[in-house]
Amino acid sequence: MTKTESAAQKTAYSLLLAVLPVFAVLFSLCIGRYVVSVSDVFRCLVSRFNEGIEVNRMSYITIWNVRLPRIILAFLAGSALSCAGLLFQSLFRNPLATPDTLGVAGGSSFGAVLSILLGLSMIPMQLLSFGAGCLAVAMTILAAKGKDQSMNTIVLSGIIMGSLFSALVSLVKFTADQEQQLPSITYWLMGSLQSATYSSLVIGLIPILVSTIILILLRWRLNLLLLSEDESCSSGVNMPRLRMIAILCATMLTASSISMCGQVGWVGLIVPHMCRLLFGNDHRKLLPACISFGGAFLIIVDTLARSITASEIPISILTAIIGAPFFLFLIRKKGGWSL
């Protein structure tokens, strides 16, 4: 490949990075059981700031009160889970690492289902879910402390904590009312963006935004996570501190997304691999790619989940149906499991 071809390819990828989320948002605003034309979408968006523009009232409510909050949540959750998956795969140098590697998904799920059992509203449920996810990771790190606090020890501790909180989730399901609470718990665990509101987005937005900004500022140092211990130490960077920052950011990203929309699988696994296939292992390119591709991917999947049948399909079902074959394709394309 010549330098001209390489530059053209990079330009095409960069353009795709910018255009894909815009296309996904426009697609989601138009498509649904109530179809809105592209021109009406733009008129509804502009009329929010210009009262002189006349719009269809039904289209306006559908765009601003129903679809736009879901789109924002889908983009936040998709980008957060993708970045968290990227961090854990690099941190543990394991292509199968996912955002719930350290037990954060189990902890956040326990906090949410406990909130449903107690009859709490959406915002307290988010706070309890987020706190429980952070608590699970803190317990994982404390359990791994010792003379040999290797990354493998932390992973094993995370598996144990994940199993513990999964058992607690099962206990809550066992004690929940079978007529009202148990169906709500089961549906939430399968993931849904149906309850998205602007007020609920604010709580999840803050930790996601803070974590993303930190990672963008440190994105060139994240390449050191892929190096061996001797190579990374010779760089002059405080690697234990960098690893802890990566764990904390990935925890906040995962806990925030799960607290808002439940467990959404596969996004944090396939999107980082797809981005690596396109951009290589340089985190300076990978991190923005995961933000763009992850957000666009979940927006499109959520649009399909609420559109293809009369009743909404839990989003984790679709991410698994789409993600599993696509991940097999990526394995064959890359020719192995290595990062």
What is the structure's pLDDT at 296? 95
Token digits for 179?
């007529």
- Contact in structure between 53 and 47 (CB atoms under 8 Å): yes
pLDDT tens digits in sequence order for the chain, 339 residues long: 555 546 677 777 778 888 999 999 999 999 988 899 999 999 999 988 887 788 889 999 999 999 999 999 999 999 999 999 999 999 888 888 888 888 999 999 999 999 999 998 888 999 999 999 999 999 998 888 765 667 778 888 999 999 999 999 999 999 999 888 999 999 888 888 988 889 889 888 999 999 999 999 998 889 888 877 667 667 777 888 898 999 999 999 999 999 999 889 899 999 998 888 888 888 988 999 999 999 999 999 999 999 988 888 999 999 999 888 888 887 776 665 555
Q: Is the pTM for the entire model greater than 0.85?
A: yes
Question: Which has the closest alpha carbon to 256: 296, 206, 213, 218?
Answer: 206
What is the structure's pLDDT at 6? 65
Q: How many angstroms separate the CA atoms of 64 and 69, rounded?
A: 7
- Contact in structure between 24 and 298 (CB atoms under 8 Å): no
Report pLDDT digits (tens) over 157-175.
Answer: 999 999 999 999 999 999 9
- On the CB side of 186, how many CA atoms lie within 13 Å of its CA? 11
Which amino acid, 39? Answer: S
- Contact in structure between 25 and 37 (CB atoms under 8 Å): no
Reported as type and span, the H/E element at residue 49 is none
Which residues touch 145 (CB under 8 Å, ≥6 apart)?
Answer: none
Domain boundaries, the chain: 23-334
- Contact in structure between 294 and 79 (CB atoms under 8 Å): yes
CATH code of domain 23-334: 1.10.3470.10
Cβ atoms within 10 Å of 308's Cβ, excluding its own? 12
Number of H helices, E strands in the chain: 14, 0
Write the CA distances from 339 to 96, 268, 275, integer angstroms: 10, 15, 11
> What is the number of residues in the chain?
339
What is the structure's pLDDT at 163? 93
What is the structure's pLDDT at 339? 59
What is the structure's pLDDT at 229? 67
Q: How many angstroms separate the CA atoms of 154 and 8, rounded?
A: 42
What is the structure's pLDDT at 149? 63
Question: Which has the closest alpha carbon to 161: 216, 106, 200?
Answer: 106
Report pLDDT digits (tens) over 11-45.
Answer: 777 788 889 999 999 999 999 888 999 999 999 99
